[in-house]
A and B are shown apart, each in its own frame.
With several copies, the nearest count.
Chain A
Amino acid sequence: MTYARPTFRNPDLPLNKIGRARKEYEGAISTLCAGCGHDSISGAIIQACYEMAIEPHRLAKLSGIGCSSKTPTYFLGQSHGFNSVHGRMPSVATGAAMANRDLIYLGVSGDGDTASIGMGQFVHAIRRNLNILYIVMNNGCYGLTKGQDSATADAGSINKSGAENQFQGIDLCGLGLELGATFVARSFSGDKQQLIPLIKAGLTHPGFALIDVVSPCVTFNNNAGSTKSYDYTREHMEATAAIDLVPYREEILHQQDKGTIKYIPLHDESIIAVNKLAADWDPLDKSSAMRKLAQARNEHEILTGLIYVDTQSKDLHTLLNTSDTPLNQLSQTVLMPSAEILGKINKLYQ
């Protein structure tokens, strides 16, 4: 990565608000298996960031270890990437956010990375309402180590070698709700139309935004009997609603009147437009979200779409009461007390 990269731009490519082409949001060529769900999610991330006109250098993409955790290499090549250690991305992201509240944080993880080795850190990042969009590329297995069942594999799901998983699967959305996650959504790598607006909303949400994306592993867990295969997911998907993220001022006014749409204003100037599909559910009401989720689970449906959002929550920085200036920008003058003060301190110990 010398930055002597070709700056030539095809003048015909449509540019976004900050004058960047979609290409500029791409990354290196993927080394994942052809057809891997994760690649589609990378595509959705690229599209969402392009459409939102995010300045790539203002975004930090962090991950753990796994096929899913490799994807940050394959999108947003001009952003800052950190492929940490297995299961420990949330703490690295927390530290990064503490140091610089002004970047946008995108965490990418796998179901093994999050629900097994990373469970503790995942839970605590939620509890602290860390400012991050946390995407789990959930394939119910450990792709990179060759297909073992993960902790999100459903009991009864059959893996490639024909074995039936005995243990109950962890529902990351259910867990997120229980722990007080302030933005909870589920999607499917095969449904970009649903996924892209969710990513946009998640990137905008001030606090912990969880998107659990079913993302089939074509090599190890796409067989008949698997409950994380393309076919199974397509058949059992049930969406809460169609949503869209609308930059507030610009567009909300002439959309105000569409009857079935609910508008959720976010802390910045944007708004989530929810085209309500599911009855008996209000994304702003946690109990209804929990009920909806439990109900879908009982009926062996995979509930997708936005599930819950809390627009009033206090994010990590508010909870920590840190200064508006990112800590990494404070100079020695601001940070170091004077020699006189040190003298005064000495007096206390005399």
Chain B
Amino acid sequence: MSQPVLINDLVVRFATVNGTGSASANNMFAKAVYRMGIPVTPKNIFPSNIQGLPTWYEVRINEKGYLGRRDGIDIMVAVNAQSLKKDIESVRSGGYLIYDSTKTLGEDFIREDLHYIGIPMMSLCMQHYNDPRQHLLMKNMIYVGALCALLGMEKEVFEQLVQEQFAKKEKLIPGNIQALHLGMNYAESNFECPLPYRLERRNLNQNKILTDGNNACGLGAVFAGATVGSWYPITPSTSLMNAFEKWCTKYRIDASTGRKNFAMIQAEDELAAMGMVLGASWNGARAFTSTSGPGLSLMSEFLGLSYFAEIPAVLFDVQRSGPSTGMPTRTQQSDVLSAAYASHGDTKHILLFPSTPNECFDMTLTAFDLAEFFQTAVIVLTDLDLGMNDHLTDAFTLRDNYQYNRGKVMTAKDLDDAKVWGRYLDIDGDGIPYRTIPGTHPSKGSFFTRGSSHDPMAAYTEDGDVYADGMRRLEKKWETIRSRVPGPEIVRFDPSHNEAIIYFGTSSYAAVEAMDILQNQGIALNALRIKSFPFTEEIIEFIHAHDTIYLVEQNRDAQMRSLLMIENAIPPSKIKKVLQFNGMPITAQFISDEIQKIMQQAPIHHS
């Protein structure tokens, strides 16, 4: 088979066993691509257990900057015997299989349409390392080295990465460098390097970083001035709190006393985690928690309290595949509806939908500002793909002169100066009352916080009209919120196009690529990315400006579409569903195929 040469446009998949240390080797490969200035995004596809099951690491390399997942594997590094059969099947015709040739592959494993690259990884390890504990780890470095040679990558980049990785355990450096070279040399001596699939240096990653959303949110919470974090561990949100703790430990310990300028508690469950957030926010600290689906369900009673008693709260929901325990290590965007209306009664919550780690950082700051300004819960909806996978993203920046917006808080002086103050009085006509922080003033500003019905002065009431007035004020506040949340990103707006694509969160990568695929087929779409709920006027106008909207979601029930209809009277027939919900990050091909399918269907009867 003669191969077309493919430069800087590849999917490389590593099939390994979890708990064997392959993660850091695989990661090094992705980072090397990044360092060569080529856009890259890796994804971990891991099982819900700790050790011994198949796990995959998929690296998409694309110099056009298409960084969503793409089906069709070009190069498979298959080092897991358990999954080998299936792994081989998953390679696209004409692709490469890199495997450990210490043992010969059986007949069963041979596909005519693939290139086989056998590297005797284990036997190289045995030859060169005495300590059997090193064998597994060095094997990983060997295939990384081989890849370097096969793809024509820069070996200095890898050597540098090894130096950095083991900066604190220097004596491990030579062994690892050696393993790299064993792989490189073997590949170079036995195969024609580089392959037709190869990587060439570019300069496309300037001012970009490679990090994950959970890290970005955790870091964002530090910069946002959050001091109280409580949480209950759950995949895929755990690493968000870990990041917060890590950064706090670095930047929030008082140098003179060694004491912490933050407090974290691992709560006994998610109900307690949210309770702590409300207690702390009530007391004037910026407080937050993070969870995933099951935790969101458990927090729903407390979220209702936040809404009705008007207590700020920031919650990160790193979504995974539901319902119930579902697929805990797979992604989805399926908590949209339950997050928006969490809790019984007439409740609504602000949602934010970041789509990159950079935006995770930035929106975390926004989340705290909104929560305090509007005195209500803000739920940042990310997902497993965004939270746990590294993404190529703009470097973190702070807005100029950024100041925390602590909202309408009465100081002792304000209390002295005010003629009348009532916790739930709408003085400004925007539905947002003034609050006090307990302990502010020796004789003024105390009030009773409760989830039962209250009048503007915070007194308990069972008067239906007073209650209804309060509910209407909350509606008015909601309107104010609608004018203040982050507006959408209008990605493309050409008035001559009648149709548009709308998406949010991690579908963005694939959506942008899908637009180009469709464009190539003569289908031009406008595009908008939703960044928050409630929906600002621009979103509504954008929708009204088109005949058909293709709404891309990673759930089964088209939950964002539901929100658009409920809140903004968007006619349902106008919004076509493009839904992927199998737990894998959505692909551009899927989106463009679905859109074309819908276009080919007879127009639906509009009643």
- Say yes or no for B234: interface residue by CB 8 A criterion: yes
Q: Mark B270-293, 1 if CB is under 8 A from A, else 0.
A: 111111111111111101000000
B50 contacts A120, CB within 8 Å?
A: no
- Say yes or no for A260: interface residue by CB 8 A criterion: no
| Residues of A close to B259: CB separation below 8 A | 321-324
| Residues of A close to B211: CB separation below 8 A | 349
Known contacts A117-B232, A117-B269, A327 near B449 by CB under 8 Å = no
Find B438's partner among A34, A57, A86 (CB 8 Å cutoff).
A57
| Residues of B close to A82: CB separation below 8 A | 279, 282, 448-450
Q: Mark A93-121, 1 if CB is under 8 A from B, else 0.
A: 11111111011000000000000110111
A1 contacts B458, CB within 8 Å?
A: yes
- Minimal beta-carbon separation of A122 from chain B (angstroms): 10
| Residues of B close to A100: CB separation below 8 A | 283-285, 438-439
- Minimal beta-carbon separation of A16 from chain B (angstroms): 14
| Residues of A close to B441: CB separation below 8 A | 57
Known contacts A93-B279, A99-B280, A2 near B265 by CB under 8 Å = no
- Docked complex: B42-68 residues within 8 A CB-CB of A: 47-53
Q: Mark A185-199, 1 if CB is under 8 A from B, else 0.
A: 000000000000000
Please measure, in the bound complex, the distance between the C-alpha atom of A328 and the C-alpha atom of B403, giving whole angstroms. Answer: 16
Please measure, in the bound complex, the distance between the C-alpha atom of A33 and the C-alpha atom of B209, giving whole angstroms. Answer: 34
Find B280's partner among A86, A95, A148 (CB 8 Å cutoff).
A95
Q: Mark A130-160, 1 if CB is under 8 A from B, else 0.
A: 0000000000001111101101000000000
- Say yes or no for B461: interface residue by CB 8 A criterion: no
Known contacts A327-B285, A336-B223, A79 near B446 by CB under 8 Å = yes
Known contacts A84-B275, A100-B283, A1 near B52 by CB under 8 Å = no
- Say yes or no for B555: interface residue by CB 8 A criterion: no
Find B421's partner among A2, A32, A143, A346 (CB 8 Å cutoff).
A2
Report the stretch among B8-16, B136-144, B392-400, B515-523 that lies at the interface.
B392-400
A328 contacts B53, CB within 8 Å?
A: no
Please measure, in the bound complex, the distance between the C-alpha atom of A60 and the C-alpha atom of B438, giving whole angstroms. Answer: 7
Report the stretch among B177-185, B186-194, B250-258, B493-501 that lies at the interface.
B250-258
Nearest to A70 among chain B residues (CB) is B49
| Residues of B close to A342: CB separation below 8 A | 223, 396-398
B283 contacts A96, CB within 8 Å?
A: yes
Nearest to A81 among chain B residues (CB) is B448
A341 contacts B251, CB within 8 Å?
A: yes
- Docked complex: A50-109 residues within 8 A CB-CB of B: 55-58, 60, 62, 65, 67, 70, 72-73, 77-88, 90-100, 102-103
| Residues of A close to B72: CB separation below 8 A | none
Q: Mark B212-244, 1 if CB is under 8 A from A, else 0.
A: 000000010011110110101111001000000
Find B228's partner among A34, A67, A327 (CB 8 Å cutoff).
A327
B448 contacts A102, CB within 8 Å?
A: no
Q: Mark A25-65, 1 if CB is under 8 A from B, else 0.
A: 00000011110000000000000000000011110101001
Please measure, in the bound complex, the distance between the C-alpha atom of A72 and the C-alpha atom of B397, giving whole angstroms. Answer: 46
| Residues of B close to A62: CB separation below 8 A | 279
- Say yes or no for A279: interface residue by CB 8 A criterion: no
A337 contacts B52, CB within 8 Å?
A: no
A91 contacts B447, CB within 8 Å?
A: no
| Residues of A close to B53: CB separation below 8 A | 31
| Residues of B close to A65: CB separation below 8 A | 325
Please measure, in the bound complex, the distance between the C-alpha atom of A349 and the C-alpha atom of B264, giving whole angstroms. Answer: 26
- Say yes or no for B267: interface residue by CB 8 A criterion: yes
Please measure, in the bound complex, the distance between the C-alpha atom of A264 and the C-alpha atom of B437, giving whole angstroms. Answer: 35
Known contacts A3-B415, A99-B284, A219-B19, A143 near B50 by CB under 8 Å = yes
- Minimal beta-carbon separation of B296 from chain A (angstroms): 13
Find B227's partner among A119, A121, A145, A328 (CB 8 Å cutoff).
A328
- Minimal beta-carbon separation of A269 from chain B (angstroms): 22
A120 contacts B272, CB within 8 Å?
A: yes
Please measure, in the bound complex, the distance between the C-alpha atom of A55 and the C-alpha atom of B437, giving whole angstroms. Answer: 16
Nearest to B400 among chain A residues (CB) is A339
Please measure, in the bound complex, the distance between the C-alpha atom of A322 and the C-alpha atom of B228, giving whole angstroms. Answer: 11
A328 contacts B260, CB within 8 Å?
A: no
| Residues of A close to B47: CB separation below 8 A | 31
- Say yes or no for A128: interface residue by CB 8 A criterion: yes
- Say yes or no for A350: interface residue by CB 8 A criterion: yes
Binding site secondary structure of chain B: loop
**Which of B267, B276, B443, B445 is the most central at the interface, judged by chain A CB atoms within 10 Å of its CB?**
B276
| Residues of A close to B438: CB separation below 8 A | 57, 60, 80, 96, 100, 103
Please measure, in the bound complex, the distance between the C-alpha atom of A87 and the C-alpha atom of B238, giving whole angstroms. Answer: 18
A96 contacts B210, CB within 8 Å?
A: no
Known contacts A322-B263, A327-B262, A342-B396, A33 near B269 by CB under 8 Å = no
| Residues of A close to B277: CB separation below 8 A | 95
A328 contacts B437, CB within 8 Å?
A: yes
- Say yes or no for A253: interface residue by CB 8 A criterion: no
- Say yes or no for B324: interface residue by CB 8 A criterion: yes
Nearest to B273 among chain A residues (CB) is A91
- Minimal beta-carbon separation of A222 from chain B (angstroms): 13
- Say yes or no for A297: interface residue by CB 8 A criterion: no
- Say yes or no for A13: interface residue by CB 8 A criterion: no
| Residues of A close to B19: CB separation below 8 A | 33, 219
B283 contacts A99, CB within 8 Å?
A: yes
**Which of B52, B265, B403, B447 is the most central at the interface, judged by chain A CB atoms within 10 Å of its CB?**
B265
- Docked complex: B475-522 residues within 8 A CB-CB of A: none
| Residues of B close to A330: CB separation below 8 A | 225, 227, 261
| Residues of A close to B270: CB separation below 8 A | 117
Q: Mark B61-83, 1 if CB is under 8 A from A, else 0.
A: 00000000000000000000000
A98 contacts B261, CB within 8 Å?
A: no
B440 contacts A57, CB within 8 Å?
A: yes
- Say yes or no for B204: interface residue by CB 8 A criterion: no
Please measure, in the bound complex, the distance between the C-alpha atom of A325 and the C-alpha atom of B398, giving whole angstroms. Answer: 27
B265 contacts A85, CB within 8 Å?
A: no
- Minimal beta-carbon separation of B261 from chain A (angstroms): 5
- Minimal beta-carbon separation of A320 from chain B (angstroms): 5
Known contacts A91-B275, A94-B265, A96-B279, A102 near B439 by CB under 8 Å = yes
Find A98's partner among B254, B263, B443, B449 (CB 8 Å cutoff).
B263
Show 9 A/B contacts (Cβ-Cβ < 8 Å), sorted by A: A1-B458, A56-B446, A80-B439, A82-B279, A85-B294, A99-B287, A121-B275, A327-B261, A342-B397
Known contacts A144-B50, A148-B266; 4 additional CB pairs below 8 A are A96-B279, A121-B272, A327-B262, A339-B397
Q: Top 9 nearest A-B pairs by Cβ distance?
A: A95-B279, A91-B275, A95-B276, A99-B285, A349-B209, A80-B438, A95-B280, A117-B269, A99-B283
